[in-house]
Amino acid sequence: MRSEIHQNDVGTRFLITIKEDDVAVDISSATVINVYFKRPDGSLLPRLGSFYTDGTDGKIVYDVDPGDLNEAGYYKLQARVSIVTGTFYTSIYTFQAHCNLEV
């Protein structure tokens, strides 16, 4: 059975790769790593991401905290990383937080 993301999940890991022209960007010098969630109600939830390894692979992670996925419905996610040579944004991804039998 495939895993689903659910309303009020905690600890779900989002693994995001920063790319330019389909090539991972070395973000090891990043001064800012942000992950933004747009909730189903339209509110924006900014969070701090972290390196997955050392940043040379362009990968960052964010582990969901309590209250982040407080609504069932469709969310959008985008990451932003600032390094010496510029600021990089990922594509915007959409995912669904499914409802639970009880909340």
Domains of the chain with bracketed CATH: 5-98 (2.60.40.1220)
40: left (phi over 0), alpha (psi -120 to 50) or beta: alpha
Residue 1 has a pLDDT of: 44
The per-residue pLDDT for range 43-84, each reduced to its tens digit, is: 999 999 999 999 999 999 999 999 999 999 999 999 999 998
Confidence category of residue 20, pLDDT binned at 50, 70, 90: confident
Q: What is the pLDDT of residue 85?
A: 86
The answer to whether the pTM exceeds 0.85 is yes
